[in-house]
Structure 1
């Protein structure tokens, strides 16, 4: 179970994963060793999955963000595994979800330009034998950035 100090520690790390045990201790009113042990326990128990840098998509040449809904024509386990494998191999697909409702999958993608998005849809996704329909929504503006999880 997480206590309030653990929740505050997780919130601090989501804002800045580079915080040292000393800095965490100061923010949480703990000794550096206590803060370090708590962080290590939260890592070991799987509360913290990894640490990563958030890149600016435009700075790295990714000017188009889109959400792509995929509807399958068949729903067998093998087709699902093949589609999931296809998605895992595509670097432009940064996250994916299975859904209830009309669409079976929702993919979040970043592409260099519209031509790259078009190639992904028409040359990669639609040719998959189990895919029936693909619908994309191009992001015009992201007015709220990806936020930390509430703790």
Structure 2
């Protein structure tokens, strides 16, 4: 499905579901001014076409005991395909990593990592990142306040 193959109703459905993925087709129909059956057909088409990749629950990080959000920049020891694969494999195995981005510029990766506390951050950096053969340098920053998180796409 190309972007040109979605219309304004599809966009309204995507905006509504991005805000609340649990909407029933009846509730969705009220929001986008289409029948529930039309919304159901369009939702299935958007899912099958890859416009909607998944549905998730937004969990309360602090209530679940993850008091720190950390931004960690990583520079690799060497820049080759195998080293990058080893590092991305490591990151995929670490559940504390919420988001990971390969970058251009001075650093190679930026990680968003949650930990329970400073000790958890220390363990994460000193036992998982720094000893890994693909990693040369790590810089950490602790988030003081989350100003905006999990914003939707600007449809």
TM-score interval for Structure 1 and Structure 2 normalised by the shorter chain: over 0.9
Query: Which residue of structure 2 aligns with residue 75 of structure 1?
Result: 79
Q: How many corresponding residue pairs?
A: 151
TM-score normalised to the size of structure 1?
0.97
Query: Which residue of structure 2 aligns with residue 134 of structure 1?
Result: 138
User: Following superposition, which runs of at least 4 residues in structure 1 exceed 6 angstroms of deviation?
Assistant: none
**1:145 offset after TM fit, Å?**
2.6
Partner Cα distance (2:150, 2:24) in 1: 24
Could you report, residue by residue, the CA deviation over 1:67-122 in whole angstroms, capped at 9, with x for unpaired residues? 10000110111111111010000000011000001110010000010111111111
Could you report, residue by residue, the CA deviation over 1:26-60 in whole angstroms, capped at 9, with x for unpaired residues? 11111111000111100000010000000110000
> Which among 38, 43, 59 is matched to residue 55 of structure 1?
59
Query: Which residue of structure 2 aligns with residue 123 of structure 1?
Result: 127
Indicate the SS of the match to 1:97: strand
Query: Which residue of structure 2 aligns with residue 104 of structure 1?
Result: 108
Unmatched tracts of structure 1, length 5 or more: none
Indicate the SS of the match to 2:63: helix
Unmatched tracts of structure 2, length 5 or more: none
**RMSD value over aligned CA atoms?**
0.8
Partner Cα distance (1:77, 1:25) in 2: 48
